[in-house]
């Protein structure tokens, strides 16, 4: 079995972060999520994450889906892998990939190609390396005379000649699992940092007559990690550009890319236009012919063909075809907006179904409601769904016409084709085709203000008393 151990115990002191460093996000998922995805895409069957600083954050994120091992003292990368001893001993056959949870661009292709070489050469360990113009800080690859690897030397332990080596250790390796277990038991902390270096396994493997190999990748991004907030921003910018390029290749149209951030799992069909300041996250899917933005935030929402969303926030919802929404609209979770609906400015919809061709044009709250087709909401309608204790639903039949400033006190049902008079507060069900009026009789007292304001109305600019 081929499996992976991801080292994620780091703190990220220089970031001044109060969460584990691998939990910092690149676009819409943590760096750790990027690494897990690469492992899965490359076909590793089991994953164990080694935690350390604030392990509970990582446990919460993994939600029991993967094994974890806690490293309670930070004694080096070799020591971190030792903590996964139980995981390793459960599957001694096959190979184990060890990699860092804070190098998010390690990709499935590199992992798979390195494994191919690892097995073809029958290596005990294969190090994934790259050549960098500025190798400072990384472990250097000391080659053997036969072009194989002799050792990895850390920056702090390197001689000035070794510091000139440009080939560096990515921090990712394939090990034959049984060999890894044995090599770990031989590690000692005799080095400049007094740590158990995982990198010492190379020398130890060779000394014990095993083969160690190198997979030199052209894709130097796989090495990139983040030690500072500036590094993190650089990684985000790189990821953002790569994703935008992928969508452009698929025929998505960008007016410009300012403020456009698209998550890793978002799908967009050809012919859709994305306007500036639009953030698309999670499992959002957008069909063709749409115009999204400017100024939208859309998360976990499925959008049909030819929709127009302008200054909309939408979460965990479904929007069908030919829907026009915005500006300044909030679509909250579990809403289903059917085809041909129009939702205008300052409208909030939550946990509701809005039927085909219904219009909610302005200043309205529709919460916990089932709304039929071709309903017209007057300005200022409120579904009063919460009494301070529990939430109840409103049901509004097809072809209803809700007068301006109607309050619908849930639970309440309007039948088919019901009219409500403007300003009514509806507390009881209304049968099909009825008009519901609930408001005081209008009283008119003629000449009232003439009497009340006579001083002001007829004495020029005199101050009011």
- CB closer to ligand UD1, 98 vs 337: 98
- Supply the minimum distance, in Å, between the C-beta of residue 84 and ligand UD1: 10
CA atoms within 13 A on the CB side of 275: 13
Among residues 76, 77, 87, the alpha carbon closest in space to that of 4 is found at 87
Q: Does 7 sit near ligand UD1 (CB under 6 A)?
A: yes
- Supply the minimum distance, in Å, between the C-beta of residue 102 and ligand UD1: 5
By the 10 Å C-beta count (0-12 exposed, 13-18 middle, 19+ buried), 396 is classed as: buried
Piece in contact with ligand UD1 (CB under 6 A), picked from 191-199, 214-222, 261-269, 348-356: 191-199
| Torsion angle, alpha carbons of 189, 193, 195, 196, to 10 | -70
Piece in contact with ligand UD1 (CB under 6 A), picked from 7-15, 317-325, 339-347, 413-421: 7-15
| Bridge partners, 223 (sequence order) | none
Piece in contact with ligand UD1 (CB under 6 A), picked from 194-202, 343-351, 374-382, 422-430: 194-202
Report residue 220: phi and psi, to 5°. Answer: -70, -10
Q: Does 110 sit near ligand UD1 (CB under 6 A)?
A: no
Figure out which of the listed residues 123, 177, 199, 383 binds ligand UD1, where binding follows CB under 6 A. 199
Piece in contact with ligand UD1 (CB under 6 A), picked from 33-41, 58-66, 100-108, 174-182: 100-108
- CB closer to ligand UD1, 24 vs 239: 24
Q: For the stretch 12-47, what's the b/e string if a residue is b when 16 or more beta carbons lie within 10 angstroms of its beta carbon? A: beebebebbbbbbbbbbbbbbbbbbbbbeebebebb
The angle subtended at Cα 77 by Cα 41 and Cα 25, nearest 5°, is 50
Q: Does 294 sit near ligand UD1 (CB under 6 A)?
A: no
What the block records as the tokens of 39 is 């492992």
Q: Does 197 sit near ligand UD1 (CB under 6 A)?
A: yes
Applying the rule CB under 6 A, the residues between 162 and 181 that interact with ligand UD1 are 168-171
Q: Does 33 sit near ligand UD1 (CB under 6 A)?
A: no
Q: How many residues bind ligand UD1 (CB under 6 A)?
A: 28
Q: Does 247 qualify as catalytic in the annotation?
A: no
60, 247, 336, 362: the catalytic one is 362
Q: Does 349 sit near ligand UD1 (CB under 6 A)?
A: no
- Strands 419-420 and 125-131, sheet pairing: unpaired
Q: Does 125 sit near ligand UD1 (CB under 6 A)?
A: no
Rounded Cα distance between 408 and 288, Å, is 37
Report residue 443: phi and psi, to 5°. Answer: -110, 135
Active site residues: 362
Q: Point out which residues bind ligand UD1 (CB under 6 A).
A: 7-10, 50, 52, 71, 74-77, 79-80, 100-102, 138-139, 152, 154, 168-171, 197-199, 225
């Amino acid at each position: 079995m081929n499996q992976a151990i991801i080292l994620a115990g780091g703190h990220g002191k220089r970031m001044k972060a109060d969460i584990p460093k691998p939990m910092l996000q690149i676009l819409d998922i943590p760096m750790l999520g990027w690494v897990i995805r690469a492992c899965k895409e490359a076909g590793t069957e089991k994953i164990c994450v080694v935690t350390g600083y604030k392990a509970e954050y990582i446990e919460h994120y993994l939600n029991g889906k993967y094994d974890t091992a806690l490293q309670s003292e930070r004694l080096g990368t070799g020591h971190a892998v030792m903590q996964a001893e139980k995981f390793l001993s459960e599957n001694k056959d096959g190979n184990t990939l060890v990699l860092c949870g804070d190098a998010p661009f390690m990709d499935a292709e590199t992992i798979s190609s390195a494994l191919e070489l690892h097995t073809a050469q029958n290596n005990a360990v294969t190090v994934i390396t790259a050549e960098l113009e500025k190798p400072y800080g990384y472990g250097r690859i000391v080659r053997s005379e036969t072009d194989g690897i002799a050792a990895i030397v850390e920056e702090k332990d390197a001689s000035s000649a070794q510091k000139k080596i440009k080939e560096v250790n990515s921090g990712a390796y394939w090990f034959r699992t049984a060999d890894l277990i044995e090599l770990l038991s031989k590690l000692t902390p005799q080095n400049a940092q007094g740590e158990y270096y995982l990198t010492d396994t190379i020398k130890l493997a060779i000394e014990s007559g095993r083969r160690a190999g190198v997979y030199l990748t052209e894709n130097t991004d796989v090495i990139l990690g983040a030690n500072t907030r500036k590094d993190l921003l650089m990684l985000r910018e790189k990821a953002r550009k790569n994703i935008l390029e992928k969508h452009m290749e698929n025929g998505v149209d960008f007016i410009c890319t300012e403020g456009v951030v698209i998550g890793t799992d978002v799908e967009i069909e050809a012919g859709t236009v994305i306007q500036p300041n639009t953030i698309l996250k999670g499992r959002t899917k957008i069909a063709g012919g749409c115009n999204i933005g400017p100024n939208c935030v859309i998360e976990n929402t499925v959008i049909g063909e030819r929709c127009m969303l302008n200054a909309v926030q939408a979460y965990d919802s479904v929007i069908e075809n030919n829907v026009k929404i915005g500006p300044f609209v909030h679509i909250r979770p579990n809403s289903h907006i059917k085809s041909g609906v129009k939702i205008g400015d300052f409208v909030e919809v939550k946990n509701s179904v809005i039927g085909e061709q219904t219009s909610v044009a302005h200043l309205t709250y529709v919460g916990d409601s089932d709304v039929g087709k071709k309903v017209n909401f007057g300005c200022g309608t409120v579904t009063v769904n919460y009494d301070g204790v529990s939430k109840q639903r409103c049901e509004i039949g097809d072809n209803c016409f809700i007068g301006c400033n109607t309050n619908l006190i849930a639970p309440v049902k309007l039948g088919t084709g019901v009219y409500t008079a403007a300003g009514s507060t509806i507390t009881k069900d209304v049968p099909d085709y009825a008009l519901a009026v609930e408001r005081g009789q209008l009283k008119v007292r003629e000449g009232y203000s003439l009497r009340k304001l006579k001083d002001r109305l007829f004495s020029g600019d005199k101050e009011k008393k």
